[in-house]
Amino acid sequence: MLKAKNSLGLILFPAFDWRISPTHPEREERLLYTIDQIEEEGLFDYENIKIYNPEMIDSKYIEMTHFCIPTISSIVTVSHKIAAGSAITIAKKVLSKEVEKGFALIRPPGHHAHRVTYGDRGFCIINNEAIMVEYLRKEYKIKKIAIIDTDCHHGDGTQDIFWNDKDVLFISLHQDGTTLYPGTGFTDEIGGPSAIGYTLNLPLPPYTSDDGFLYCLDNLIIPVLEEFKPDIIINSAGQDNHYSDPLTNMNFSAQGYAKLTEKLSPNISVLEGGYSIESALPYVNLGIIFALAGIDYSNIKEPDYNPERLKQSQRTTDYIKRLCEHVYSIWKSKEEREYKIKMANQDYYVRKKSIYYDTMGFRENQLEKIKNCKKCSGLILIDSLCLGYRVLAIVIPHDACNDCENEGHKLFENTEVGDYSHILLQDKKSFEFFRRTS
């Protein structure tokens, strides 16, 4: 049998029973063509490339990541639970050292799912990578985690969940939000009061090519990772930056994806978007797999690949250079920025958010308050209005001090249920979830 340089675990879950519609690009064919390509290339003949079965998630990990309204069972399908469970399964195989690298080729995707979720937005209901992070923290005591999101759409859900958590570095590399859903991911979105600079966004101009993506990796992402020193690197491996994708406007290629994966060297990759079902996904997924396994990927090219046609403009090149310099300056000044916020005479850091559920056609209005605590990252309170529900969601963070922990439980116990349809509490410190409904 053949042998790859690195041992690699794969999970393939096309989710036959879930799609937006029979003709919508978010459907099972996204992975079926990839599976055919993997078989054709003989990857199953490599003795240290292992295929694992998908698994269902334990709902407690969903509860510790999301507030699902009205309930988990009412909005989260079996396919979503298997996709999230499969991300955890591949993480277990890597952490137990059965394999060196892991790639969960799963759907439905998840990176647009916020902490509070009422249903499907951006084809996402629950956040596969965020749920996996909660699992890794609880079961493996992993401390510092980096999530690098290379989907063409900004990973606004992942950003929201780890907004005030400096143990999770989140970097999103995406098409500029002024030109693409969800319209977020700008350079001034840099994290909450206790995690300033641990959210970094790189909004790229349309028609950015391989050179632009790899420049960001070499000149911003890798230097930041070297300074952050994560215990594990997760790649939210969206593939809709591809030049043939019908929903986006970028010029990334299968060769570019493979080079990015080789340089980034994530421990775990999780498939997100990518909707050029025949022209891109089989080649991009194969390039990522070869790069993770340490197999030569130089011959993996799309039939119509023409690097000269895909070349970005000099204006784009110059902009990306300035962008990386600016974002790196945010990273380097994060302690000073956080100190100024912590020293401000302000009890709570407040954000008003309006979150549009594009797939379902409704809007959530949210008021988030983060306690300005000098002893921990701070209690989080979320007042959410949507679909006739009013929700008070309380988050006691992993590093909560006794004061924030006690205040969170008192608010949960003493707030009048009549004012809200749901009063919910995530106690991440003790890994417990509490619920009261009217």
Per-residue pLDDT of the chain in tens (438 residues, 90 and over written 9): 577 789 999 999 987 676 677 776 776 777 788 888 888 888 888 989 999 999 999 999 999 999 999 999 999 999 999 999 999 999 999 999 999 999 999 989 999 999 999 999 999 999 999 999 999 999 999 999 999 999 999 999 999 999 999 999 999 999 999 999 999 999 999 999 999 999 999 999 999 999 999 999 999 999 999 999 999 999 999 999 999 999 999 999 999 999 999 999 999 999 999 888 889 989 999 999 999 999 999 999 999 999 999 999 999 999 999 999 999 999 999 999 988 887 876 899 999 999 999 989 999 999 999 999 989 999 999 999 999 999 999 999 999 999 999 999 999 999 998 889 999 999 999 999 999 998
Any residues with CB less than 8 A from the CB of 306 and at least 6 apart, and which? none
112 catalytic? Reply is yes
| pTM: predicted TM-score of the whole model, two decimal places | 0.96
Q: How far apart are CA 81 and CA 120, in angstroms?
A: 14
**Helix axes 314-332 and 334-343, enclosed angle (nearest 10):** 50
36 vs 301: CA distance, rounded Å: 16
Catalytic residue among 66, 111, 112, 114: 112
Which of 178, 239, 243, 167 shows the shortest CA–CA distance to 204?
Answer: 178
Q: Interhelix angle for 29-40 vs 281-293, to 10°?
A: 50
Closest CA to 213 of 287, 263, 147, 248: 263
Phi-psi region of 317 (alpha: psi -120 to 50; beta: other; left: phi over 0): alpha
d(CA 244, CA 344): 48
Q: Which residues, 6+ apart, have CB-to-CB distance to 427 below 8 Å?
A: 396, 405, 408, 409, 433, 434
CATH topology of domain 8-327: Arginase; Chain A (3.40.800)
Q: Determine which helix (DSSP H) or strand (DSSP E) holds 119, and give its type and residue range.
A: none
Q: How far apart are CA 311 and CA 430, in angstroms?
A: 52
- Tell me how far the alpha carbon of residue 384 is from its chain's centroid: 22
Domain with CATH 3.40.800.20 in the chain: 8-327
* Beta sheet of 168-175, edge-to-edge order: 49-52, 8-13, 101-106, 268-271, 232-237, 145-149, 168-175, 199-204
What's the rounded Cα separation, in Å, for the pair 59 and 85? Answer: 10
Q: Which residues pair with 354 in a beta bridge?
A: 365
